């Protein structure tokens, strides 16, 4: 088989997978509003993810890791129908990439577990350590062949339904990039508990809570990577996970736009006549479409170049995607509410859910102000002449 034949087959397989992503996402339409209203992630959706082999599709299978573009396509499709499910899957991909980057002896085994549907929580954030990782207070001290972990983690996705957590903890009192390490902590380990759950404006079906670790003992083999590699792993992971949040944002913007068109889209006659009233509304829809298109184009420009080069996107590109796409999601959802009017404000109206979900995308995974700081630090690396 020559190279062109291989490329054609690869593209065909990717196309089939993306069709499957859209088909699976369509199944979520029956769950998204109910889960949002009940503030609960439906176990049936977890079962569907496994039944339809979504975990293998997004993590890669048959010895091949999924590309960033492939993962973003899946996340976009899911977010267009149910943001909470998209974030649920995105959080697994974030943990998976951290484990992959660590080159840990555990990596192969843990990633295979993920492909089979093991649910993880990402244990990085604390009340005083959000964007400033080095302010982390959770500690891990060595005792014989074990580490003893103590501390409180805040805003942890999948709290209460995860069976494993990737916990970042301080292994040195110094405030340095080598003072934090990462550990695998099973949820049934004595001393680990969920202190409370957040009742949120958006992503209401995504369980988010405080994870408390009270002298939690884990074997030394639970260390992911080497001692002191936690900060490097977390920051490198952001170069992968921020485009994933960009994909969630594109999905939210796309979903809100598609629903708006169903509600107020011009009829064939209106398109032909184009009276001043209909033209004004049509221009608004055109503006929103351009916003969605621009965000989607930016996202996949960055991911396809990263995949082609076989490396993570530079931080300034990853942060640009996260900030721009989440701003677009908020803008499109907000203006869709205004255009739709009374069609948007019912309890189960999808547009009001898209609006509530969009706001958090500007805040978590680093606020958009933090993204601009990251971009600002790498202005000297920008070179538009390099593809």
| Predicted local confidence at residue 15, as pLDDT | 60
CATH number of the structural domain 3-115: 1.10.540.10
Contact 361, 321 (CB under 8 A): no
Q: Give the CA distances from residue 318 to residues 77, 218, 314, 362, in Å, rounded to whole numbers and listed in that order.
A: 20, 34, 6, 14
User: Distance (Å, rounded) from C-alpha 300 to C-alpha 36?
Assistant: 29
| Exposure on the CB side of residue 128, measured as CA atoms within 13 A | 7
CATH 1.20.140.10 maps onto the chain at 231-381
Q: Which residues are catalytic?
A: 365
The closest of 353, 246, 228, 338 to 292, measured between CA atoms, is: 246
230-256 burial: b if 16+ Cβ within 10 Å, else e: bbbbbebbbbbbbbbbbbbbbbbbbbb
Q: Which residues pair with 219 in a beta bridge?
A: 146
pLDDT digits (tens, 9 = 90+) for 240-289: 999 999 999 999 999 999 999 988 876 666 665 666 666 788 889 999 99
CATH 1.10.540.10 maps onto the chain at 3-115
pLDDT digits (tens, 9 = 90+) for 191-207: 999 999 999 999 999 99
| Predicted local confidence at residue 12, as pLDDT | 41
Q: What is the 3-state secondary structure (H, E, C) of 202-228?
A: CCCCCCEEEEEEEEEEEEHHHEECCCC
| Predicted local confidence at residue 16, as pLDDT | 67
CATH 2.40.110.10 maps onto the chain at 120-228
CATH number of the structural domain 231-381: 1.20.140.10
Question: Is the domain defined by 120-228 classed in CATH 2.40.110.10?
Answer: yes
Q: Which residues of the chain have pLDDT under 50?
A: 1-12
| Predicted local confidence at residue 345, as pLDDT | 73
């Amino acid at each position: 088989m020559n190279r062109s034949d291989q490329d054609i087959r690869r593209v065909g397989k990717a196309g089939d997978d993306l069709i499957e992503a859209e088909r699976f996402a369509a199944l979520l339409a029956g769950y998204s509003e109910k889960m949002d209203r009940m503030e609960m992630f439906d176990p049936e959706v977890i079962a569907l993810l496994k039944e339809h082999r979504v975990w293998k599709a997004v993590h890669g299978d048959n010895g091949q890791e999924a590309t960033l573009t492939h993962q973003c396509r899946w996340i976009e499709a899911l977010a267009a129908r149910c943001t909470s499910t998209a974030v649920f899957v995105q959080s697994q991909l974030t943990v998976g990439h951290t484990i992959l980057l660590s080159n840990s002896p555990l990596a192969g085994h843990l990633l295979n577990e993920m492909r089979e549907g093991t649910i993880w929580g990402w244990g990085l954030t604390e009340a005083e350590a959000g964007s400033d990782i080095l302010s982390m207070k959770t500690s891990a001290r060595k005792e014989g062949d074990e580490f003893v972990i103590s501390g409180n983690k805040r805003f942890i996705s999948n709290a209460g339904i995860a069976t494993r957590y990737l916990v970042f903890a301080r292994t040195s009192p110094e405030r340095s990039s080598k003072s934090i390490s990462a550990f695998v902590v099973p949820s049934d380990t004595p001393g680990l508990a969920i202190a409370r759950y957040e009742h949120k404006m958006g992503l209401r079906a995504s369980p988010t809570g405080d994870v408390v670790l009270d002298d939690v003992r884990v074997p030394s083999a639970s260390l992911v990577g080497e001692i002191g590699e936690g900060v490097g792993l977390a920051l490198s992971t952001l170069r992968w996970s921020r485009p994933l949040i960009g994909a969630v944002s594109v999905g939210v913007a796309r979903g809100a736009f598609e629903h708006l068109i169903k509600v107020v889209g011009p009829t064939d006659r209106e398109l032909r006549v184009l009276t001043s009233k209909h033209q004004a509304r049509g221009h608004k829809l055109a503006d929103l479409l351009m916003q969605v298109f621009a965000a989607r184009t930016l996202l996949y420009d960055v991911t396809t170049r990263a995949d082609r080069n076989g490396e993570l996107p530079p931080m300034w590109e990853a942060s640009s995607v996260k900030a721009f796409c989440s701003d677009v999601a908020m803008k499109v959802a907000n203006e869709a509410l205004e255009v739709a009017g009374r069609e948007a404000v019912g309890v189960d109206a999808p547009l009001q859910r898209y609006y509530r979900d969009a706001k958090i995308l500007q805040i978590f995974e680093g606020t958009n102000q933090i993204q601009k700081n990251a971009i600002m630090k790498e202005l000297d690396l920008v070179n538009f002449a390099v593809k």
